[in-house]
Amino acid sequence: MTTTQLVWLRNDLRLDDNPALYLAQQQGGIEVVFVACPGQWQQHDESAAKLGLKADSVKDIQQQLASKGIPLHLLETAMFADVPDLLLDFCQQQNFSALWFNQETPLDERRRDQAVVDIFTEAGIACHALETDLLVALPVLTQQDEPFKVFTPYYRRWLQLLQETQREPYPEPEKQAEAFNVDWQKPDWAGDYRDDIWPAAEDELLAKLDKFCEKRLKHYSERRDFPAEPATSLLSPYLSIGRLGPRRLLASIQYHCGAQKMHWQDNVWLQELAWRDFYRQLLLHFPRLSMEKPFKPETDQVIWSDNEDGFRAWCAGRTGFPIVDAAMRQLIQTGWMHNRLRMISASFLSKLLLIDWRRGEQFFMQHLIDGEFAANNGGWQWSASTGVDAAPYFRVFNPTRQSERFDPEGEFIRRFVPELAELSGKQIHNPSDEQRSKLGYPAPVIDYKPARQQAIEAFANLKNS
């Protein structure tokens, strides 16, 4: 009877700090499987760029494992519903003694995983479903054993649990046989992405993590909101597919904070990672978030606009508001958008254009290389005032003020809206009609003040009713 364990990689595409790989190898020899589900990914609006990075990551892992004498098997089926039978057949044919995987939080993924556990248990094959890939995998609950709905108290409790439960990153699996060569053919489902910005090799991205912590962690809090500055980590695409493990992130933060004489517990980048846990845990507590429902049920009564021209202008970066257009063009051209700009452009669509936030959420997912359901949904619901801990309904970002504050010299706008490059730092945030006409730049699609008032009334009416 074989004692070979099968490790199923999903949204944890890494060798470093991977509990399933490490713990399975403690029980005997391992082999690894990855199941592509292109039909399901398309249904989930996964972007071509994200799937390209995912494919190249699988290729890198397959080559790394081959150098350790560990095979990685590639299976493919259309939908998650097909996975349990496919995996069971594969396990039985290859005579594996157990299956190991790290759990995920979205609803479809949880249903798939439960179906796998059920069918394996029935077939008498051990199935080890390990905790979810979070910095704090335990439920973070109030004193009344209820989920937090506001981030700040959640963060205090999260930080406490983090310090009580933290552990070192899991080591990579050991070499277990002679190295062998693998042939890789790029799968049909893989799209193109900016591999000049996001290399897929694990050693390169771990070096990127170290470089960010060494060079930028100290000034992250005061510089992160300025999109023209190289102040953010650009690691989010790797986090979205699990190329970086949570314990590795924590270890890097703690090491570099120590080296730079800072308290790691006060680190703002750590707080951003806590937001990621917060949104993922909400999916566990409130399944309706995975069903296109707002967290605040009353906001389902908002009468959204069917302004198709406005929506198309927003998608194309032609709204006539330079900071919004620069943000949207950054998304289209690179597959990524700066976080401050995500808030500005989401607020613009859901509040000033009063277009259903779900349309923006979907557009972002279809284009973001770091599109991750929980964070994207959480961010959109925050901006639209429909979610937990959301912006108050009367808070409507003024895009011109945001632009003047966070891109004061217009440096970022010039990069992505080059037709405005000749304008001064003062003019570029809101060009005159004459300048727009001369430079071929559109008039604003809305008048800010009445649009803001309309949004406030749409939400105030809900409160009154």
Q: How many CB atoms lie within 10 A of CB 43?
A: 13
Distance CA(420)–CA(322), nearest Å, equals 8
Spatial CA neighbour of 119 closest among 94, 85, 95, 86: 85
Which amino acid is present at 180?
Answer: F
Cα Rg for the chain, rounded, in angstroms? 23
Spatial CA neighbour of 54 closest among 11, 107, 101, 113: 11
Spatial CA neighbour of 79 closest among 30, 37, 117: 37
The answer to whether the CB of 91 falls within 8 A of the CB of 52 is no
Strand 5-9: give its sheet, edge to edge. Answer: 72-76, 30-36, 5-9, 98-102, 126-130
Report the catalytic residues.
Answer: 272, 275, 304, 339, 357, 380
Strand residues in 112-178 grouped as ranges (E) = 126-130
> For residues 161-199, b (16+ Cβ closer than 10 Å) or e, as one string?
bbeeeeeebbebbeeeeeeeeeeeeeeebbbebbeeebb
SS3 content of the chain, % helix, strand, coil (to 5): 55, 5, 40
State the burial class of residue 265 (Cβ atoms within 10 Å of its Cβ: 0-12, 13-18, 19+).
middle
Strand residues in 77-193 grouped as ranges (E) = 98-102, 126-130
Q: How many CB atoms lie within 10 A of CB 460?
A: 12
